[in-house]
Structure 1
Amino acid sequence: MDVSFLKRLLGRIEDHEVEVVSTKPVGKFRVEKTLKVINRQVLVGEVTEGLIYPGYKVKGKAVSPIMRIERSHKRVDFAVAGDRVALMLEYEIPCEEGEELEIYQS
């Protein structure tokens, strides 16, 4: 099995580079709390603007693709303004409670 696949699966890649290509955010997300689940960072909070899909990128002090979105402990295909959801990220980004992060299309 490919070792790089295992590292990505376990979230142990330290030297990742993710870029935001689009210039205008498609949404905003307010962080209520951060968790660590199976070596992945999970942001719990509210979508304050726009529409969010897995694969979109979260941008704060760093950038990470969204791997999965859950609402009420169930996987969903997207989230809209007003939804309280959990975003599982591919990479860990530094953020604090109350911080509003921008969401960009891939």
Structure 2
Amino acid sequence: MGFLSRLFGGKKETDTEEIQIVSRKPVGKFHVEKVFHIMGRETLVGTVERGVIYPGYKVKGKKAAVIYRIEKGRKAVDFVVDGDKAALILEGITKAEEGDTLEVYQS
């Protein structure tokens, strides 16, 4: 998919296929404070309530999405832990709302 089609809201591969959660127990929880849609990606800003979260993990709201990138203080980080305030940049859409607490699953 080209840059322009992503920029102007073209469908992504993750829009057509449903992301499956295969883990039974969540490895963490993330409290959503703000939701943004930037360059066709859903971005969740909030606080890690429990666990360690890595890119590649899945976050589950009304729908599930894969964590593409994690930023803390506007810099990419390898992981976040309890109490960290961070932005999760997702592949896919969770349809999360401000105030939701989402479960995070290992991929």
Q: By the TM > 0.5 criterion, same fold?
A: yes
Partner of 1:12: 11
CA–CA distance in structure 1, aligned partners of residues 24 and 58 of structure 2: 12
Structure 1 stretches lacking a partner, 5+ long: none
Counterpart of 1:12, as a letter, is K
TM-score, normalization: structure 1? 0.89
Partner of 1:79: 80
**By how many angstroms is 1:12 displaced?**
2.1
CA–CA distance in structure 2, aligned partners of residues 42 and 65 of structure 1: 11
CA–CA distance in structure 1, aligned partners of residues 81 and 34 of structure 2: 19
Structure 2 stretches lacking a partner, 5+ long: none
Partner of 1:34: 35
In the alignment of these two chains, the number of paired residues is 101
CA–CA distance in structure 1, aligned partners of residues 89 and 61 of structure 2: 15
| 1:46 is the counterpart of 2:47 | yes
Counterpart of 1:43, as a letter, is L
CA–CA distance in structure 2, aligned partners of residues 33 and 16 of structure 1: 26
Q: Greater strand percent: which structure? A: 1
Residues 13-52 of structure 1: CA deviation (Å, up to 9, x unaligned): 2312110111000000000000111111100000000000
Deviates more, 1:12-21 or 1:36-45: 12-21
Counterpart of 1:65, as a letter, is V
Counterpart of 1:80, as a letter, is V
CA–CA distance in structure 2, aligned partners of residues 21 and 34 of structure 1: 25
SS of the residue corresponding to residue 34 of structure 1 reads strand
Partner of 1:93: 94
**By how many angstroms is 1:93 displaced?**
1.6
Identity percentage over the alignment?
Answer: 51
CA–CA distance in structure 2, aligned partners of residues 25 and 6 of structure 1: 34
